[in-house]
């Protein structure tokens, strides 16, 4: 049984790494901030500079759920899920059990979870002045689920709640990948989220329909793909 478990863990991780190597060669699972695509769109949860917490959270969950469904709603394949929870960085207590429940009652057993030392997004300098990314401990969970098993509204609301100390909170930093259309999604907090693809077709409707939600920086970076 132990050998089978080890084989399954290796097999699932290996399949995901092979997929990323082919379509997103600059992406490394142990370096979260490398996850993304050739064409990446940042979508804001509000056009206002300042907005009260409850309104921002509600709007973040609403917009993110809408775009998630537009991006993945027609796929026939299960989605890859990669989640990160960092050691010593969760100042607000969160409930891992609640998170895993959003993928089904027995989903905890369907994730492959490992404790690893990963590269953080923080840059330091060595004694010679060379840049390097600091390392930190993290729990990485990898799974693959059909979209009907994913309670995406609860997940996105929990992520938006996190930094505001509102229950229910989700402490994981979550990435959703569709290997059928080579698209991805990540809500980073209640301020906004990213969607990406390796070519413009899967993103065109989102880009054109919700242009007023998209950051000016994103428009400039992606103008060549959509105009």
pLDDT in tens, 89-100: 555 678 889 999
- At 10 the pLDDT is 60
Using a pLDDT cut of 90, give the percent of the chain over it.
67
Contact present, 57 and 157 (Cβ < 8 Å): yes
pLDDT in tens, 156-213: 999 999 988 899 999 999 999 999 999 999 999 999 999 999 999 999 999 999 999 9
Instruction: Please state, rounded to an integer, the average pLDDT across all residues of the chain.
Output: 88
Q: What is the dihedral of CA 76, 176, 18, 8, to 10 degrees?
A: -80
Collect contacts of 131-134 with beta carbons under 8 A, ≥24 apart.
133/31
Percentages of the chain per state (helix, strand, coil), in multiples of 5: 40, 30, 30
pLDDT in tens, 96-115: 899 999 998 777 678 999 99
- At 225 the pLDDT is 93
For 21, the token pair is 């190597």
Contact present, 104 and 131 (Cβ < 8 Å): no
Kindly list the domain boundaries of the chain, sorted by start residue.
Answer: 2-226
């Amino acid at each position: 049984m132990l050998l089978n478990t080890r084989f399954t863990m290796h097999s699932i991780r290996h399949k995901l790494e092979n997929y990323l190597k082919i379509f997103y060669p600059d992406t490394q699972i142990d370096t979260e901030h490398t996850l993304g695509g050739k064409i990446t769109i940042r979508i804001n949860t509000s056009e206002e500079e300042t907005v009260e917490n409850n309104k921002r959270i509600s709007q973040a969950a609403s917009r993110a759920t809408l775009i998630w469904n537009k991006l993945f709603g027609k796929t026939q394949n299960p989605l890859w899920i990669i989640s990160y929870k960092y050691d010593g960085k969760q100042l607000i207590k969160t409930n891992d059990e609640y998170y895993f429940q959003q993928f089904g009652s027995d989903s905890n057993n369907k994730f492959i979870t490992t404790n690893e030392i990963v590269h953080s997004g923080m840059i330091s300098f060595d004694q010679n002045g060379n840049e390097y990314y600091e390392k930190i401990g993290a729990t990485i969970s990898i799974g693959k689920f059909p979209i009907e098993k994913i309670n995406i509204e609860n997940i996105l609301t929990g992520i938006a709640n996190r930094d505001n100390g509102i229950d229910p909170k989700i402490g994981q930093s979550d990435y959703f990948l569709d290997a059928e259309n080579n698209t991805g999604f990540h809500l980073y907090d209640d301020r906004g989220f990213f969607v990406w693809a390796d070519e413009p077709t899967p993103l065109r409707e989102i880009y054109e329909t919700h242009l007023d939600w998209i950051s000016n920086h994103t428009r400039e970076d992606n103008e060549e793909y959509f105009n």
